[in-house]
Amino acid sequence: MLQPSETGPVEAGRETRSTTLEHATDPAAAPATDTGGLASLFEVDPGARGARDVGQRHATLRPRELERPPLVLRLVSGASKAVLMVALLWGLFFNFSEVRGSSMRPGIQDGDRILVDHVSYMFEDVARGDIVVLRYPLDPTVDYVKRVVGLPGEHIEIFRGQVWIDGARVEEDYVAEENLDPWAVVDTVVEPGHYFVLGDNRLRSSDSRDFGQVAEVYLRGKVRARLWPAARVGLIH
């Protein structure tokens, strides 16, 4: 018989094993008895095993955070998406156009690249003096650039190169004196929902003096700025 250690108490598992070995004299009975002893020695708490298995499954199913792209790549990706969104919105609200002809000299000249705003007139009224891109009433597939001079309901008169609205002469500092047309004569009232437009170069412009008043639905947008040539970049008034 194995004796307990003199230095202190014997652990429960080892004490059980000592008792079993002492009584295992029958070889046929030994396996059954020993099985119980070994089960006691190597038994694993089911609760502990279950917790360990759950922990392993959770560890396997954790998000793969370590495989996320580097911060720099994520920032570049986000910036690219933002630029693309801005470009799409810009394309919806604005567009660039190239001017052909000299009917708006000296402010806008042949070959100028202009920025056209398609949104403003959704929120504000057309004003006298606005430079607009419009569909040519006689051929809506063609765009013209003109200046709004007469508003709905106004009485427009033109003679001796001067424009009169409701009996008052209009100051037009955007028209060069050499571009005035002293032979044009107009006397008309602007219809509701229409505008009277003129080119700043009156001697070289086809406008409401020729093709009549322009319906509001033909106005495509307001000219905001000149983007080319570089020496003349700026806002257009």
Angstrom distance (rounded) from CA 21 to CA 204 = 122
169: its two tokens:
């002469």
Q: What is the pLDDT of residue 152?
A: 98
Q: What is the pLDDT of residue 226?
A: 93
Q: Phi and psi at residue 46, in whole multiples of 5°?
A: -60, -35
Q: Is pLDDT larger for residue 73 or for residue 13?
A: 73
Catalytic positions are: 103, 146
Please report how the helices 30-42 and 12-23 are oriented relative to each other, as an axis angle in degrees rounded to 10: 170
31: pLDDT strictly greater than 70: no
Q: What percent of the chain has pLDDT over 70?
A: 62
| Mean pLDDT confidence for 212-226 | 95
Q: What is the pLDDT of residue 194?
A: 98
Check: CB of residue 117 under 8 Å from CB of residue 93. Answer: yes
Q: Give yes or no for a cis peptide into 229 (omega within 30° of 0).
A: yes
84-136: pLDDT as tens digits: 665 555 555 568 889 999 999 999 999 999 999 988 898 999 999 999 999 99
145-195: pLDDT as tens digits: 999 999 999 999 999 999 999 999 999 999 999 999 999 999 999 999 999
β-pairing, 168-169 vs 162-165, is: antiparallel
- The amino acid sitting at 106 is P
Kindly give, in sequence order, each residue whose CB lies less than 8 Å from that of residue 20, ignoring residues fewer than 6 positions away. Answer: 33, 34, 36, 37
